[in-house]
Chains A and B, each alone.
Chain A
Amino acid sequence: MAIELLPEPSIPIASPLRPRFGFFTSSPIIAVASLCLLLIIVMAILAPWIAPHDPMQLLPAQRLKPSSEKFLLGTDAYGRDVLSRIIYGGRISLLIGFGATVVSIAFGLLIGLFSGFFRWVDAILMRIMDGVMAIPSILLAIAVVSLSGASVATVLIAITIPEIPRVARLVRSVVLSAREEPYVEAAISVGSGLPKIMWRHLLPNTIAPLIVQGTNFCASAILTEAILSFLGAGISPETPTWGNIMAEGRAFFQVKPSLIFWPGLLLSIAILSVNLIGDAARDALDPRMKQREGGK
Chain B
Amino acid sequence: MLGYLLRRVLAAIPVMGVVALVVFLLLRLTPGDPAAILAGDNASPAQLERIRASLGLNEPLYIQFFTWINKLLHGDLGVSLISNVPVLKMIGQRVEPSISIALATIIVSVVVAVPLGVIAAWKQGTWIDRFVMGLSVLGFSVPVFVIGYVLIQVFAIDLRWLPVQGFKSIANGFGPFLERLVLPTLALSFIYVALIARMTRASMLDVLGEDYVRTARAKGIGEIAVLFRHALRNAAVPVITVIGTGFALLISGVVVTESVFNIPGIGRLTVDAVLARDYPVIQAMILLTSLLYVTVNLLIDVAYTLLDPRIRY
Binding site for B on A (CB under 8 A): 127-128, 130-132, 134-140, 142-148, 219, 223, 226-227, 230-233, 246, 250, 253-254, 257, 260-261, 264-265, 267-268, 271-272, 275-276, 279, 291-296
Contact = CB atoms under 8 A, between A and B. Distances in A.
A271 B147 CA distance: 14
Contact of A233 (B17, B141, B271): B271
B199 interface: yes
**Lowest 6 CB-CB distances: which A-B pairs, in order?**
A131-B18, A264-B146, A138-B252, A272-B141, A292-B202, A271-B141
Interface in B123-160: 133, 137-138, 140-143, 145-146, 149-150, 152-153, 157
Q: Considering residues A139, A145, A233, which has the most beta carbons from chain B within 10 angstroms of its beta carbon?
A: A139
B145 A230 contact: yes
A125 B189 CA distance: 35
Interface stretch (B84-92, B172-180, B283-291): B283-291
A268 B143 contact: yes
A102 B24 CA distance: 28
A255 to B, nearest CB: 11
A293 B133 contact: yes
Contacts of B255: 138-139, 231
B195 interface: yes
A236 B271 CA distance: 16
A291 B283 CA distance: 42
A144 B30 CA distance: 9
Interface of B: 14-19, 21-23, 26-27, 30-31, 37, 133, 137-138, 140-143, 145-146, 149-150, 152-153, 157, 195, 198-199, 201-202, 205-206, 238, 242, 245, 248, 251-252, 255-256, 259-260, 270-271, 274-275, 277, 279, 282-283, 285-286, 289-290, 293-294
A257 B146 contact: no
B157 A131 contact: no
A272 B137 contact: yes
Contacts of B277: 146-147
Q: Which of A134, A261, A267 lies at the interface centre, i.e. has the most chain B CB atoms within 10 A of its CB?
A: A134
A260 B23 CA distance: 34
Main secondary structure of the interface of B (DSSP, over half): helix
Contact of B294 (A127, A134, A223, A250): A134
Given A130-B18, A272-B138, A294-B238, 17 more contacts: A130-B14, A131-B14, A132-B19, A132-B22, A136-B251, A136-B286, A138-B255, A147-B27, A148-B31, A253-B152, A257-B153, A272-B137, A279-B137, A291-B205, A292-B206, A295-B198, A295-B245
Given A139-B255, A293-B133, A275 B141 contact: yes
Contacts of A148: 30-31
B143 A226 contact: yes
B15 A147 contact: no
9 contacts: A127-B15, A130-B15, A131-B22, A147-B37, A219-B141, A232-B271, A293-B133, A294-B198, A296-B198
A94 to B, nearest CB: 15
A254 B275 CA distance: 25
Given A147-B30, A275-B141, A292-B205, A137 B146 contact: no
A254 B157 contact: yes
Contacts of B26: 143-144, 147
Contact of A295 (B152, B195, B259, B294): B195
Given A268-B141, A292-B206, A230 B256 contact: yes
B289 A136 contact: yes
B286 A140 contact: yes
Given A147-B37, A226-B143, A253 B251 contact: no
B143 A271 contact: yes
Contacts of A143: 23, 26, 274, 282-283, 286
Contacts of B251: 136, 138-139
